[in-house]
Structure 1
Amino acid sequence: MNQHIYLVEDDPNIRNIVQAYLKKEGYQVTLTERAEEAWDNAQSQQPDMWILDIMLPGMDGYELCKKIRQVSEVPIIIISAKDEEVDKILGLELGSDDYLTKPFSPRELVARVKRLFKRAEAQPVMSKTKQDVLEIDQLKMDQAARQVFWKDEEIDVTTKEFDMLEIFAKQPNRAFSREELLTIIWGDDYFGSDRAVDDLVKRLRKKLDGLPVETVWGYGYRLHIDEEKS
């Protein structure tokens, strides 16, 4: 099955040009000009990637990006006429994987689409073994099934939330710097500030109430576990 991309853009010229280039590469493309319509459609048919304009009528691209990230970790590319550094950082911190400023070359956009799909497909698929289950205190993680249990209750987490938990659980009590976590989880070609790490930790603390992730002031975070419980 061809990979499916949702393109949310209110400029018909850009929509048609981008669609033509993506279809030429074999991608299935769904076009919408409003974020609300795209979000409603995605409830029944989730795409494999989103390409979002920022300046949209009604809900803007930032808000749609935030809503997508609450339920999915599929790749998101933001395209925008805004070229300010703060706009790029905001988009990336809300969960987008890339940011392209208008006007842009459709070929460059296609290249970035391919790169993000290649990165997503590079995630290894492993068979389940006993070593795939991590148990530390009240946290249990099934690495093969990518399931998280906290206090015997299964918790829904996103891909990046799982990745961060796994990093902490494999090396409890080790302090990780924000820069280190950013590189491990987002990749060394990620453009954005380390505030994305703080946001991810905040989400984990909210979902797993009482999770002993400690802030190492001026440095990063660690999962604090008493030695006798590890």
Structure 2
Amino acid sequence: MGWKILLVDDETMISDVLEAYLQREGYEVFKSENGLDALRKADSVKPDLIVLDLMLPDISGEEVCRLLRKESDIPILMLTAKSGEDERINGIVIGADDYVTKPFSPREVVVRIQAILRRASKGQERPGSAQLSFNQRQLVIDLIKKEILLHNESISVTPIEYKLLSNMAKHPGRVYSRMDLLEKIQEDGLSYEGYERSIDTHIKNLRKKVETDARDPKFIVTVFGMGYKFGGVPDVKNAAL
């Protein structure tokens, strides 16, 4: 399956044209006509990139971008009729990865999307190729899509839970103190003002999602007096990104 793109634009003609161009390139396309629906689809579909118009009928594209950035680092390409330098700079400041002004060439948008996805995947040719797999694929972490699969089923985790699990899984057996994990969350760009013991709560919630028996965990193991380690057995040599 190819990359998933979410188009957010209330101008049907524009989104239909972009959809046709993107589908021709093999992308799976989803569409929203307003900001609230875009936020819902971003959570349910988990697209690889969002094309976001700034002029939406309910909430602005800028606000949609801000809200997305609180939860995710998904690439965002902004579309707008605003062509001033201040508007372009503001779009980048609030979290956009690129900026295209209307009217635009659909081919240019496709090329920009391809460039953003290349950067996001750090040179990987196809989505899903950077995976960490454990215990005969009982647990799979897709480092590009930021998705966790348990027994081939995608499970819903918070950004903090994903950061905790993916960071520990990159180094199975390594012991992380609570402070280590707290620093990992913060250095990875998540705005988080928790304290060391709050890590225990996130670990408890994460265990409920990934462990067959949370009282006898196999993946997230407590090291008494020290912290936590990842106990999964790698299926192949996992090259962490």
Tell me the equivalent position of 1:10.
Answer: 10
Q: Is the 8 A contact 1:7 1:30 kept in 2?
A: yes
CA deviation digits over 1:195-217, x for unaligned, max 9?
Answer: xxxxx7xx7585679xxxxxxxx
Q: Secondary structure in 1 aligned to 2:71?
A: coil
Report how far residue 44 of structure 1 moved: 2.1
Over 3 Å counting, the alpha-carbon distance change for 1:126 and 1:18 in structure 2 is closer
Tell me the equivalent position of 2:61.
Answer: 61
Tell me the equivalent position of 2:40.
Answer: 40
**Whole-angstrom CA distance in 2 between matches of 1:27 and 1:121:** 15
Report how far residue 154 of structure 1 moved: 4.2
**Whole-angstrom CA distance in 2 between matches of 1:92 and 1:208:** 31
CA deviation digits over 1:101-123, x for unaligned, max 9?
Answer: 00000000000010011111226
Report how far residue 157 of structure 1 moved: 3.9
**Whole-angstrom CA distance in 1 between matches of 2:18 and 2:131:** 36
Q: Percent of counterpart pairs with the same letter?
A: 36
Over 3 Å counting, the alpha-carbon distance change for 1:123 and 1:72 in structure 2 is farther
TM-score (ref. length: structure 1)? 0.58
Q: Is the 8 A contact 2:70 2:191 kept in 1?
A: no
Q: Is the 8 A contact 2:8 2:38 kept in 1?
A: yes
Over 3 Å counting, the alpha-carbon distance change for 1:22 and 1:58 in structure 2 is same
Over 3 Å counting, the alpha-carbon distance change for 1:123 and 1:156 in structure 2 is farther
CA deviation digits over 1:129-150, x for unaligned, max 9?
Answer: xxxxxxxxxxxx958649x976
Q: Write the letter of the residue equivalent to 2:67.
A: K
**Whole-angstrom CA distance in 1 between matches of 2:100 and 2:87:** 11
Q: Is the 8 A contact 1:91 1:99 kept in 2?
A: yes
Over 3 Å counting, the alpha-carbon distance change for 1:59 and 1:156 in structure 2 is farther
Report how far residue 78 of structure 1 moved: 0.1
Over 3 Å counting, the alpha-carbon distance change for 1:108 and 1:122 in structure 2 is same
Unaligned runs of 5+ in 2: 125-129, 133-165, 197-241
Tell me the equivalent position of 1:20.
Answer: 20
Q: Secondary structure in 1 aligned to 2:45?
A: coil
**Whole-angstrom CA distance in 2 between matches of 1:69 and 1:207:** 18
Q: Is the 8 A contact 1:126 1:144 kept in 2?
A: no
Tell me the equivalent position of 2:216.
Answer: none
CA deviation digits over 1:168-225, x for unaligned, max 9?
Answer: xxxxxxxxxxxxxxxxxxxxxxxxxxxxxxxx7xx7585679xxxxxxxxxxxxxxxx
Report how far residue 68 of structure 1 moved: 1.1
Q: Write the letter of the residue equivalent to 2:110.
A: V
Over 3 Å counting, the alpha-carbon distance change for 1:145 and 1:32 in structure 2 is same
Report how far residue 70 of structure 1 moved: 1.1
**Whole-angstrom CA distance in 1 between matches of 2:82 and 2:108:** 18
Q: Write the letter of the residue equivalent to 1:111.
A: V
Q: Is the 8 A contact 2:182 2:195 kept in 1?
A: no
How big is the alpha-carbon RMSD for the aligned residues of Structure 1 and Structure 2?
A: 3.2
Over 3 Å counting, the alpha-carbon distance change for 1:86 and 1:122 in structure 2 is same
Q: Write the letter of the residue equivalent to 2:74.
A: V
Q: Secondary structure in 2 aligned to 1:70?
A: helix
Report how far residue 67 of structure 1 moved: 1.0
Over 3 Å counting, the alpha-carbon distance change for 1:18 and 1:44 in structure 2 is same
Tell me the equivalent position of 1:75.
Answer: 75
Q: How many pairs are equivalent? A: 155
Report how far residue 71 of structure 1 moved: 1.2
Equivalent residue in structure 1 for 2:179, among 151, 159, 162? 151
